[in-house]
């Protein structure tokens, strides 16, 4: 009712405007009152004509305003920095603006009726599906961050905002490209990870230096005391023997420092090895000689069953490090007058080496973490020898780097056997 009253009021106003314009234009004629009805009709027609002219002017103005608004919002839609998509409930694209087309690098005409999720990378499909479910089922606004697959530029990261229309059959998506920000975040995470790893490697190197250098220095100190006593007693035979032992230990110590430096470089650069044909028997002989003072101190028996002709194809520095750590552990955790056995047997193209002891074994509580750096689970040797728990970690890294594996068998208070494989030169 109110709407009709407004229309009537507008019509009356329009008619009054037309009458006023007719009078001001001098179009109302005076004359003898004859043929009054005819003149009145002519007047009415003229007034209606003016009414139509006014209506036409108003319509043209309204149309011009409307065109301006449409043009304004078309430009906003087409050239907005965000990609706008209208998605049907079944996931197909109904409409897309220019930015969305550029974002996916596909012509707009070829995007219509294609599934939007066909452009989503595999790791983001479930995230997007969950967001769409919330939008359509709960009729709520939702958002997420996903990665999409463009034709040529590859993966792009976008921030998505979604809302359903009134009848819930369509979804309006707004996509903002955040690739630059995401790439910067990923680079920062990578740098942070590298810094953490570098810091860990630095700490590990210091621990390894303390761990691997202590035993040779202990031997060096022991023989230096014997050497000093030989000088005092003028025992030239003892002097010659001690001097020879000191010479061997110093040489091995230098090799050990080189190994530690190589390991540190390995952690910071691409993992490469320099394999060559080497005598494994020679490696074991050198390691046994290195710990001869410790063997004498604890009166340990060593049974080296490695054949003289055992040849392997591996990095000699890595093999020295593995044998040194396994043999050192056997010495450390074997009580006085115990026995250490070193053996090897063919295993296909590999040689399986074993280092066995009659020591105290490995407790169940630390077996799972034996090849990892967990300082809380480190224990001392039978004579209080210190340890950092890094030796076996280094053994695992070098064994795997040379194409082999490492494992162990143990029984508490009976002993432990470590097995590792290395490519055979045969």
**pLDDT surpasses 70 at 159:** yes
Q: What is the pLDDT of residue 177?
A: 87
Q: What is the pLDDT of residue 371?
A: 79
Torsion, Cα 41 43 45 46, to 10 degrees, reads 170
Distance (Å, whole) CA 148 – CA 158: 7
* pLDDT higher at 415 or 11: 415
Q: What is the pLDDT of residue 3?
A: 44
- State both tokens at 39: 């003149």
Least confident of 93-97, 138-142, 402-406: 138-142
Residue entry with tokens 């990870």: 193
Q: What is the pLDDT of residue 38?
A: 62
Q: What is the pLDDT of residue 149?
A: 85
Q: What is the pLDDT of residue 284?
A: 94
Question: 349-374: string of b/e by CB count within 10 Å (b at 16+)?
Answer: ebbbbbbbbbbbbbeeeeeeebbebe
Q: What is the largest CA-CA distance in the chain?
A: 165
Q: What is the pLDDT of residue 278?
A: 93
Q: What is the pLDDT of residue 364?
A: 84
Selecting from 3.30.565.10, 3.40.190.10, 1.10.3720.10, 3.40.50.2000, what CATH number does the domain 187-423 have?
3.30.565.10
What are the domain boundaries of the chain? 83-177, 187-423
**What average pLDDT does this structure show over 105-118?**
88
* pLDDT higher at 262 or 403: 403
Question: What is the reported pTM?
Answer: 0.48
Could you read off the pLDDT of 40-90 as tens digits, one per residue? 767 777 887 887 788 777 877 777 767 666 566 666 666 667 888 988 988
Give the DSSP H or E segment for 313: strand 311-314
**pLDDT surpasses 50 at 32:** no
Q: What is the pLDDT of residue 304?
A: 93
Residue entry with tokens 């063997």: 295
CA 111 distance to own-chain centroid = 32
* pLDDT higher at 32 or 251: 251
CA 187 distance to own-chain centroid = 10
Residue 4 vs residues 11, 12, 62, 69, 147: alpha-carbon distances, Å:
11, 12, 21, 28, 55
Q: What is the pLDDT of residue 389?
A: 55
Q: Is the CB of residue 319 less than 8 Å from the CB of residue 353? A: no
**pLDDT surpasses 90 at 209:** no
**What average pLDDT does this structure show over 24-46?**
61
What architecture is the 83-177 domain classified under in CATH? 2-Layer Sandwich (3.30)
Q: What is the pLDDT of residue 374?
A: 52
**pLDDT surpasses 60 at 8:** no
Torsion, Cα 40 46 47 48, to 10 degrees, reads 110
User: If you ran DSSP here, which 8-state letter would residue 166 be given?
Assistant: T
Q: Can you give 66-125 as a three-state secondary structure string? A: HHHHHHHHHHHHHCCCCEEEEEECCCEEEEECHHHHHHHCCCHHHHCCCEHHHHECHHHH
Percentage of the chain exceeding pLDDT 90: 21
CA 192 distance to own-chain centroid = 11
Could you read off the pLDDT of 335-390 as tens digits, one per residue? 999 999 999 999 989 999 999 999 999 888 788 878 775 543 456 666 655 555 56
Q: What is the pLDDT of residue 280?
A: 93
**pLDDT surpasses 60 at 228:** yes
Closest CA to 23 of 40, 9, 43, 7: 43
């Amino acid at each position: 009712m109110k709407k009709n009253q407004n229309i009537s009021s507008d019509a009356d106003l329009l008619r009054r405007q037309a009458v006023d314009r007719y009078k001001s234009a001098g179009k109302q004629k005076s004359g003898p009152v004859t043929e009054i009805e005819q003149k009145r009709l002519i007047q009415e027609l003229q007034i209606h004509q003016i009414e139509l002219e006014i209506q036409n002017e108003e319509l043209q103005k309204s149309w011009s305003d409307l065109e301006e608004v449409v043009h304004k919002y078309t430009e906003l839609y087409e050239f907005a920095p965000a990609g706008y998509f209208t998605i049907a409930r079944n996931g197909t694209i109904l409409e897309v603006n220019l930015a969305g087309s550029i974002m996916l690098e596909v012509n707009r005409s070829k995007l219509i009726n294609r599934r939007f999720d066909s452009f989503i990378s595999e790791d983001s499909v479930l995230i997007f599906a969950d967001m769409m479910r919330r939008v359509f089922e709960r009729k709520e606004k939702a958002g997420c961050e996903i990665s999409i697959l463009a034709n040529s530029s590859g993966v792009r990261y976008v921030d998505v905002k979604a809302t359903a229309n009134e009848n819930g059959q369509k979804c309006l998506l707004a996509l903002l490209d955040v690739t630059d920000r995401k790439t910067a975040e990923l680079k920062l995470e990578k740098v942070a990870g590298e810094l953490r790893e570098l810091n860990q490697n630095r700490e590990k190197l210091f621990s390894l230096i303390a761990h691997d250098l202590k035993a040779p220095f202990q031997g060096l100190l022991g023989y230096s005391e014997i050497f000093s006593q030989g000088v005092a007693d003028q025992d030239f035979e003892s002097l010659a023997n001690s001097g020879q032992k000191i010479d061997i230990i110093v040489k091995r110590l230098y090799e050990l420092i080189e190994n530690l430096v190589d390991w540190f470089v390995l952690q910071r650069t691409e993992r490469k090895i320099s394999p060559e044909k080497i005598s494994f028997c020679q490696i074991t002989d050198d390691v046994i000689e290195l710990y001869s003072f410790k063997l004498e101190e604890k009166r340990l028996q060593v049974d080296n069953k490695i054949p003289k002709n055992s040849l392997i194809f591996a990095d000699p520095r890595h093999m020295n490090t593995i044998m040194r750590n396994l043999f050192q552990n056997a010495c450390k955790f074997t009580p006085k007058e115990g026995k250490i056995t070193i053996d090897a047997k063919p295993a296909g193209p590999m040689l399986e080496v074993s280092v066995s002891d009659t020591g105290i074994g490995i407790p169940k509580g630390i077996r799972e973490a034996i090849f990892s750096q967990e300082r809380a689970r480190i224990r001392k040797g039978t004579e209080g020898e210190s340890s950092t728990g890094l030796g076996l970690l280094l053994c695992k890294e070098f064994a795997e780097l040379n194409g082999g594996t490492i494992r162990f068998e143990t029984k508490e208070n009976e002993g432990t056997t470590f097995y590792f494989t290395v490519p055979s030169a045969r």
